[in-house]
Amino acid sequence: MTDPRDDRDPGVTSGGVPARDTSIAASAAAAHGAGPAHGTGLARHRGRPAGRGRRTAIAAGALVVAAGVVAAAASAPGGPGTASAPAADGVDPSGVVMPRSDGGPWERVFSEDFGDDAATGRFESRYADRFSVYHGFADTAGTGRYQASTLSTHDGVLDMHLRTTDGGTPLAGGLVPLVDGQWGGQTSGRYSIRMKSDRVDGYGVAVLLWSDDNVWSDGEVDFPEGALGLPAHLNVHCLQDPAQKCLQYETRASLADWHTYTIEWTPSRMSFLVDGDVIGTTTESIPTARMHLVVQAGSNGGHPPRTAAGSLLVDWLTIDVPAPGARPEASLPSGRAEVPERGSWIAKDPSAADGG
């Protein structure tokens, strides 16, 4: 049996191509939240073990951050090839401290800044009360394989290290934050992640909202998404035809640099922010079904160069939901920008986020 903690190939053909594990039924995948568009197989989903509390920032008198501003700070120095060397302080490697809940219409239900070190192969057990980890099935492209051994934490960051095994299988990483030890359940929310990556040929990342019931037509919202080390993209799939995208945008933010990406999802509008600035907003194809956040990185299709290797680093991530009785509104761009009451708006140039 393949050891889930090492890099030996978890089922490959004689040609080094990952073999699909046909012993895992599609119904089992659906029951555990692994969507067909994002891998076919079983995600490791477990509840919160007794005696361990979730790491959140819910507290009376917590420090505040404005509802529409999650982390409006300049990116820390860094570029392609530097993601594997975070700052040595081990507390705030990206230069922006994880924000706290403001006690307003959004209520913090999950936060993680990866302060607990976990060596390769230990992340899944160390963070079992906080994350469900994808393991042992094909990635979105079908050429890679999700493997728990891609994940570790050190120096205050989650390190999702992507590479190819000696047998030729590209390794992918994926995880789902657990809210109160549970998978998903949100019907609106504010999701923020601060991250950067090496440039790794043949690999990409998607941070997305995905259906709890594993139904693609429930919606798919990808932000950020893109090839590692290249520009971050926004993609909102159409509810009527999820193979189509009702909102597409290539941002001016590079995945090679530290940035904070935020999805604000309300029943009437979704907005998307980079470092606190709104770069897109829409009233179309808004999911109404229960969803959960997924962070996944893997092969982009075909076979990445066998020598390609590098990391996606996450400094912190947070999830807020509407406070009881509250109806928070999604942020709008400030200044001169004219946003239609119905429809979509995206920033057209660097000044557009400030109303240009």
Lowest-pLDDT range of 25-29, 125-129, 237-241, 320-324: 25-29
- At residue 338 the predicted structure's pLDDT band, cuts being 50, 70 and 90, is confident
Q: What is the pLDDT of residue 33?
A: 37
Q: Is residue 58 over pLDDT 90?
A: no
Average pLDDT over residues 300-308: 90
Q: Is residue 135 over pLDDT 50?
A: yes
**Cβ neighbour number for residue 250 with a 10 Å cutoff:** 12
- Cα separation, 189 vs 291, in Å, equals 10
Q: Is residue 9 over pLDDT 70?
A: no
CA distances from 323 to 24, 95, 183, 187, 328 (A): 39, 29, 19, 13, 8
State pLDDT tens for residues 65-110.
223 323 333 333 333 333 443 443 445 799 999 998 878 999 999 9
pTM of the prediction?
0.77
- ω before 93 within 30° of 0 (cis)? no
Q: What is the pLDDT of residue 26?
A: 33
Report whether 162 contacts 311 (CB < 8 A): yes
Q: What is the pLDDT of residue 153?
A: 98
Average pLDDT over residues 299-327: 95
Residue 57: both structure tokens together: 């920032």
Q: What is the pLDDT of residue 302?
A: 81
List for the chain the helix, strand, coil content (%; round to 5). 5, 35, 60
Q: Is residue 5 over pLDDT 80?
A: no
The b-or-e profile of 270-301 (16+ CB within 10 A means b, else e) is: bbbbbbbbbbbbbbebbbeeebbbbbbbbbbe
Q: What is the pLDDT of residue 207?
A: 98
- At residue 22 the predicted structure's pLDDT band, cuts being 50, 70 and 90, is very low
Q: Would you call 125 helix, strand, or coil by DSSP?
A: helix
Percentage of the chain modeled with pLDDT above 90: 65
Q: Is residue 250 over pLDDT 50?
A: yes
